[in-house]
Structure 1
Amino acid sequence: MPRPDSPLNRFLPYLLALTAVLLMVIARMLLTPVLGSELPFVTLFPAVFFAAWAGGLGPAVVAAATSVVLALYLFFPPSMSLDTAGVVAPLGAALFVLTGLGAGWVGRSRLQAQIRAETAAREAKKSEERYRVLIEQTAEGVWRIELPQAVSVTLPAAEQIDQFYERSALAECNDAMAHMYGFQSAAELIGARLEDLMPRSAPRNLEFLQAFIANGYRLTDAESHERDREGNERYFLNNLIGIVEDGRIVRAWGSQRDITNAKRAEAALLASEARFRSVLDSGMIGIGFWNGAVITDGNDALLQMLGYTREDLRQGLLRQGKLTPPGYEETDRNASEQIRLTGACRPYEKEFLRKDGSKVPVLAGGARLGSEMNDTVFFILDQTDRRVAEERLRHAERLEVVGQLAGGMAHEANNQMSVVLGATEFILRRSDVPAPVRQDAEYIREAAERTAAITRQLLAFSRRQILQPQAVDLNTVVRKLEPILRRTLTEQQRLKLLLAPALAAVRADRVQIDQVLLNLAINARDAMPDGGTLTVETRNVRLTERYVAARPGTTIPPG
């Protein structure tokens, strides 16, 4: 098939014009017996009109000129000659040529319009082909929603949204969009209602449509919350535009990008940041950020441990050389090397210097945040309470050893006192013992009993004495122990007894009560190095809730 710009296609309209003229000349010659020499130009007009319609101005001019020459030569007298007699033939020829020019001009305009229409059709087809290729190849979802019953833009936004949900349906989309909703192809998704894609129950979807209306039926990078065919949550970033005709929205075009994974990653990151922030703000441990020379940031727990303020932190006062006392250089170097090689170091014990110069024992650890050592995070856990607890444990272990030793000694002393008490009882039962001897035996028995009481206290201290609870008059106990309590205090300290009359008895081990009072006296003596008064008071008290609330140190429940 010849190309549009080939020589044959360029000259074909002229050939057709000449052919049409020849055909019409032959027809006119056949009609000569009937028409004679009348109306030669009229019979040739169809050829000119055909040439103008098929080829435009050029073929029409050729057809008109050829027709004039043949008409003058063949049909005007004298025949077979171009000489004409009179003015009729020249005038007719001129009118014929002008008519041919007009027809040619009209034909030319028609052909140009046809060419423009064909060009536009070809471009539209190419554009549609490019559009199809684009929407099929793009990773974004492309869609078109139709509203068979258009929605007036003058309605309130809520009413428009109601009609969107009632009337709209997905008319077109690509496979990429179908995959976002869990379908294999676009054909499975086309026809879906708006409710199927954007559940009305999600407030964010209503906000999305309200924004679409408020922005003149156009949205850019607007987020929607939707569900796929399995009911799983999906998040999309949308660009869409509504088509409004005669004050009614008839359809909407748009594209969307699936950002579900990004939203999940964002949510996970926010949750991680929230967890880290809760740890950072909890005050459980001190956390700081170190650039190799100075602490650039830290939580309140860190600042409290080290005795610095946040203003000190901003001024860069927490820097290398001011925070660690001598003796930990090698330990810190090992930790830094471990962080450089592995990204983190095992927790280790060290001490930090507070702002006031005192030391605080800590358990420290750190990790590298970036590839360089100038971006690290570290934590410190105050070990002061632990060291106090360890010291108390060691003290308790020493007391346990002392108790065991005291228990052994008390056991042996108690055995000896049992012999002494037995002998004195034997002597005192005799009636022939002289009075002076009997008095000496009484003294020996009282001393032995006091020694036995001491041994019982030692046994109780060592946890080897079985408690013997009984009804005890606390006033009697205090009075008997008064001499010992006074000797326990210093000369600058005095003992004051406030013993209530008609005091109710308590059920307790007598030896333990003695030990409690003695311990209280010793503690009071140590608490008043400059002198003071130790008051021992007894009275009947009912532990009501009000009484307990007024004494925060009370650990006995009300009742």
Structure 2
Amino acid sequence: MAAVALGIAARSMIGHWIGNALPFVTLYPAVFVAAVLGGFGPGVLATGLSAVIALHLYIDPAHSLALTDPVARFGAALFTISGLATAWLGEARLRAQRHMSRALEEAQKTTMHAEGEATRAEEEAVKAEEATAEAEMAAQDAADALERQLLAEQALRRSEEALADFFDNASTPLHWVGEDGSILRVNQAELEMLGYQRSEYVGRHIAEFHVDQPVIEDILTKLLAGEVIHSYPARLRCKDGAIKDVLINSSAYQPDGRFMHTRCFTRDVTFEKQAHEAMARLAAIVSSSSDAIISKTLDGVITSWNAAAEEIFGYSASEMVGQSVFRLIPEALHDSERFVLEQLRKGRVVEFSESERIRKDGTRIWISLSVSPLRDASGAIIGAAAIKRDITEMKLLAEHLRETQRLQTVGQLAGGIAHEANNQMSVVLGGTQFLLRRADLPPDARTDVEFIRQAAERTASITQQLLAFSRRQAQQLQDVDLNRVVESLEPVLRRSLREDHELVVRLGLQDGLIRADPRQLEQVLLNLTLNARGAMPHGGRLTVETREVTLTPESQGGKERLPPGRYAALAAKDTGCGMDAQT
């Protein structure tokens, strides 16, 4: 209806130009628009309404619906037919459009459904892909987990094999003991140490192989209580009956707090203990030795110093360890010591018959020594050990022996001379006695002969003393007066001393009769005098006395060297240097 109204309005606007001609010119578009937009019904309505309005307004007679003019009738018929055709065409178009719309809608729906299905399919595909990926990942994870499990099992097997190999082939003896004390497992090293076969060892109680039962009982008690054993000393019995000294290190294997077995490491210390005991014995020997045993480096630095070294040299160990051995050696002998050290570097044993050394107090002593190289475990020479013995007293005794031997030689020579002189004096005495028996001998001559006889008797007495000294005469015990023996020998004793020596004789014995060999007494007195002379190099006094003494057990220090009673004593005392405590 709006299209018709617009068509009439447009016809009215152009009406002053065209008049009543072309009454349907603006109404065709209205019918077309109505038919196109509304279809057949609106198209027919627009056609009829337009035809009525055009007849009423623009076809003569005006304002009438009568068609008198054939042309007008033809135009109205043509307009009506064309309008109806247009309405039909519009309807057809609308139907086609609606069909197309429905088809398009169906197509869109189908497309949308297809797209939805495609989307769902894609989503399902994505989900399927994701599920596939997850499944693949799960499968890969499962494969990885399986591989890891296999690797772990292989590693566990290798670890168990390595542990078993370590246990069985370890160089340290190992064994396991159960809660009841029975041996569960043992390695080859322990079997070889004790000499048993595996069948003789495994399954038996561990206490059967221990020498000291309280020891193994204490070990098992501690292990069952969860304690760890460190270096526990024990003794094990070998198959051949030998005893092994061992140190035991052990702990209990207790998974989840439940005791399974012990883990015992056994170390054989038999040789170490024997070596330690040997070294202890050696140390005791070194410590108690009367010889100085000193060790030193190849540079002469002292590393050990025993008690005898302290006794001989006067230095304590703390004073000498770390000091140079040259401290003990006279400077003139330093080159000799350097030569010794050089010989030791070459591995040679150096022996001295004797050498001089210096004590702490500055006095010189004579020692005999032997020096040997010290080697370490590899055989390399690292130092030297010296054994030194103080031979000072021995040398003094040797010197005294030489002096005694010299005196003995002199005595033998004197004895020979005395024997010959005694023979000659016998002739002289015999001659004088013959002359003195003559009654016709003049008084002056008799006096001279008497002097000759007395001189011969004195000379014979001296020769008798020399013969006694030289021991050419056998021991002859007789009753002698001790005072007379001393008096008769006094001239000889004085001549035996030097001019700066004084001899004092004190005869305090009242009844000096004793049973002895006078020649032996004279020799004793002469020896004492010679010893006194040697002890007084710068002059002094020798006192010889006789006296009576009464001996009792108490006066002899509780030891009866002589039966108790009265004795005659002969004593000699000098003012010389005397003897030291050691002598």
Q: Report the TM-score, using the length of structure 1 for normalisation.
A: 0.60
2:332 aligned to 326, 332, 354, which one? Answer: 326
User: Could you tell me whether the CA contact under 8 Å between 1:180 and 1:258 is conserved in 2?
Assistant: no
Give the whole-Å Cα distance in 2 for the aligned partners of 1:123 and 1:224.
38
Aligned positions of 1:200-211 closer than 5 A: 200-201=212-213, 204-209=215-220, 211=222
2:205 aligned to 193, 205, 214, which one? Answer: 193
For residue 419 of structure 1, what is the aligned residue in structure 2? 427
Q: Can you list the C-alpha shifts for 1:525-555, whole angstroms capped at 9, x where unaligned?
A: 776777658251232534x43222289xx9x
Is 1:395 aligned to residue 403 of structure 2? yes
Aligned positions of 1:7-406 closer than 5 A: 132-147=164-179, 168-184=181-197, 186-201=198-213, 204-209=215-220, 211-212=222-223, 216-242=226-252, 252-259=261-268, 262-276=269-283, 278-280=285-287, 282-290=289-297, 292=299, 294-295=301-302, 297-302=304-309, 305-306=312-313, 308=315, 312-313=319-320, 316=323, 318=324, 320=326, 323-326=329-332, 329=335, 331-347=336-352, 349-354=354-359, 359-369=364-374, 375-406=383-414
CA 1:354–1:210 in 2, change beyond 3 Å: closer, same or farther? Answer: same
Give the whole-Å Cα distance in 1 for the aligned partners of 2:361 and 2:476.
53
User: Could you tell me whether the CA contact under 8 Å between 1:288 and 1:299 is conserved in 2?
Assistant: no
For residue 84 of structure 1, what is the aligned residue in structure 2? none
Give the whole-Å Cα distance in 2 for the aligned partners of 1:241 and 1:373.
43
Q: Once the 2 structures are TM-superposed, how far is the Cα of residue 131 of structure 1 from its aligned partner?
A: 5.3
2:505 aligned to 480, 495, 518, which one? Answer: 495
Give the whole-Å Cα distance in 1 for the aligned partners of 2:318 and 2:159.
66
Residue 390 of structure 1 aligns to which amino acid in structure 2?
A
Is 1:547 aligned to residue 555 of structure 2? yes
Q: Secondary structure at the match of 2:522?
A: helix
Residue 138 of structure 1 aligns to which amino acid in structure 2?
A
Give the whole-Å Cα distance in 2 for the aligned partners of 1:444 and 1:363.
59
User: Could you tell me whether the CA contact under 8 Å between 1:495 and 1:534 is conserved in 2?
Assistant: yes
Residue 412 of structure 2 aligns to which amino acid in structure 1?
Q
Residue 177 of structure 1 aligns to which amino acid in structure 2?
E
Q: Secondary structure at the match of 1:466?
A: coil
Q: Once the 2 structures are TM-superposed, how far is the Cα of residue 193 of structure 1 from its aligned partner?
A: 2.9
User: Could you tell me whether the CA contact under 8 Å between 1:328 and 1:350 is conserved in 2?
Assistant: no
Q: Secondary structure at the match of 1:549?
A: coil
Residue 497 of structure 1 aligns to which amino acid in structure 2?
L
User: Could you tell me whether the CA contact under 8 Å between 1:367 and 1:376 is conserved in 2?
Assistant: yes
Give the whole-Å Cα distance in 2 for the aligned partners of 1:311 and 1:220.
36
CA 1:404–1:233 in 2, change beyond 3 Å: closer, same or farther? Answer: same
For residue 416 of structure 2, what is the aligned residue in structure 1? 408
CA 1:485–1:302 in 2, change beyond 3 Å: closer, same or farther? Answer: closer
Q: Can you list the C-alpha shifts for 1:106-142, whole angstroms capped at 9, x where unaligned?
A: xxxxx9xxx99x9899998777666554443334444
User: Could you tell me whether the CA contact under 8 Å between 2:509 and 2:546 is conserved in 1?
Assistant: yes
Give the whole-Å Cα distance in 1 for the aligned partners of 2:270 and 2:458.
83
User: Could you tell me whether the CA contact under 8 Å between 1:325 and 1:353 is conserved in 2?
Assistant: no
Q: Secondary structure at the match of 2:550?
A: coil
Q: Once the 2 structures are TM-superposed, how far is the Cα of residue 289 of structure 1 from its aligned partner?
A: 1.6
User: Could you tell me whether the CA contact under 8 Å between 1:305 and 1:382 is conserved in 2?
Assistant: yes
User: Could you tell me whether the CA contact under 8 Å between 1:486 and 1:494 is conserved in 2?
Assistant: no
CA 1:480–1:401 in 2, change beyond 3 Å: closer, same or farther? Answer: closer
For residue 53 of structure 1, what is the aligned residue in structure 2? none
CA 1:432–1:209 in 2, change beyond 3 Å: closer, same or farther? Answer: farther
Give the whole-Å Cα distance in 1 for the aligned partners of 2:286 and 2:562.
36
Give the whole-Å Cα distance in 2 for the aligned partners of 1:327 and 1:427.
72
Residue 345 of structure 2 aligns to which amino acid in structure 1?
R
Give the whole-Å Cα distance in 1 for the aligned partners of 2:383 and 2:486.
68
How much is the aligned-residue C-alpha RMSD, in angstroms?
A: 4.5
User: Could you tell me whether the CA contact under 8 Å between 1:548 and 1:558 is conserved in 2?
Assistant: no
Q: Can you list the C-alpha shifts for 1:197-245, whole angstroms capped at 9, x where unaligned?
A: 12345x54455446546x6344244332110222211233434344679
For residue 471 of structure 2, what is the aligned residue in structure 1? 463
Give the whole-Å Cα distance in 2 for the aligned partners of 1:500 and 1:550.
28
Aligned pairs, how many? Answer: 414
User: Could you tell me whether the CA contact under 8 Å between 1:142 and 1:254 is conserved in 2?
Assistant: yes
CA 1:378–1:517 in 2, change beyond 3 Å: closer, same or farther? Answer: closer
Give the whole-Å Cα distance in 1 for the aligned partners of 2:522 and 2:428.
24
Give the whole-Å Cα distance in 2 for the aligned partners of 1:194 and 1:429.
117
CA 1:471–1:322 in 2, change beyond 3 Å: closer, same or farther? Answer: closer
User: Could you tell me whether the CA contact under 8 Å between 2:253 and 2:263 is conserved in 1?
Assistant: no
Give the whole-Å Cα distance in 1 for the aligned partners of 2:275 and 2:178.
38
Residue 416 of structure 2 aligns to which amino acid in structure 1?
G
Q: Which runs of 5+ in 2 are unaligned?
A: 1-141, 565-583
Q: Which runs of 5+ in 1 are unaligned?
A: 1-110, 149-167
Give the whole-Å Cα distance in 2 for the aligned partners of 1:135 and 1:373.
40
User: Could you tell me whether the CA contact under 8 Å between 1:288 and 1:377 is conserved in 2?
Assistant: yes
CA 1:276–1:530 in 2, change beyond 3 Å: closer, same or farther? Answer: same
CA 1:257–1:147 in 2, change beyond 3 Å: closer, same or farther? Answer: closer
Give the whole-Å Cα distance in 1 for the aligned partners of 2:169 and 2:246.
19
Is 1:511 aligned to residue 519 of structure 2? yes
CA 1:239–1:325 in 2, change beyond 3 Å: closer, same or farther? Answer: closer
Q: Once the 2 structures are TM-superposed, how far is the Cα of residue 336 of structure 1 from its aligned partner?
A: 3.0
Give the whole-Å Cα distance in 2 for the aligned partners of 1:497 and 1:144.
96
Residue 175 of structure 2 aligns to which amino acid in structure 1?
W
Give the whole-Å Cα distance in 2 for the aligned partners of 1:236 and 1:141.
10
Q: Secondary structure at the match of 2:368?
A: strand
Residue 261 of structure 2 aligns to which amino acid in structure 1?
A
CA 1:526–1:342 in 2, change beyond 3 Å: closer, same or farther? Answer: closer
Q: Once the 2 structures are TM-superposed, how far is the Cα of residue 435 of structure 1 from its aligned partner?
A: 6.1
CA 1:469–1:426 in 2, change beyond 3 Å: closer, same or farther? Answer: same
Give the whole-Å Cα distance in 1 for the aligned partners of 2:531 and 2:349.
49
Q: Percent identity?
A: 33
Give the whole-Å Cα distance in 1 for the aligned partners of 2:295 and 2:187.
52
Q: Secondary structure at the match of 2:351?
A: coil
User: Could you tell me whether the CA contact under 8 Å between 2:238 and 2:244 is conserved in 1?
Assistant: yes
Give the whole-Å Cα distance in 2 for the aligned partners of 1:229 and 1:333.
55
Is 1:537 aligned to residue 550 of structure 2? no
Give the whole-Å Cα distance in 1 for the aligned partners of 2:322 and 2:167.
58
Q: Secondary structure at the match of 1:506?
A: strand
For residue 127 of structure 2, what is the aligned residue in structure 1? none
Give the whole-Å Cα distance in 1 for the aligned partners of 2:412 and 2:462.
15
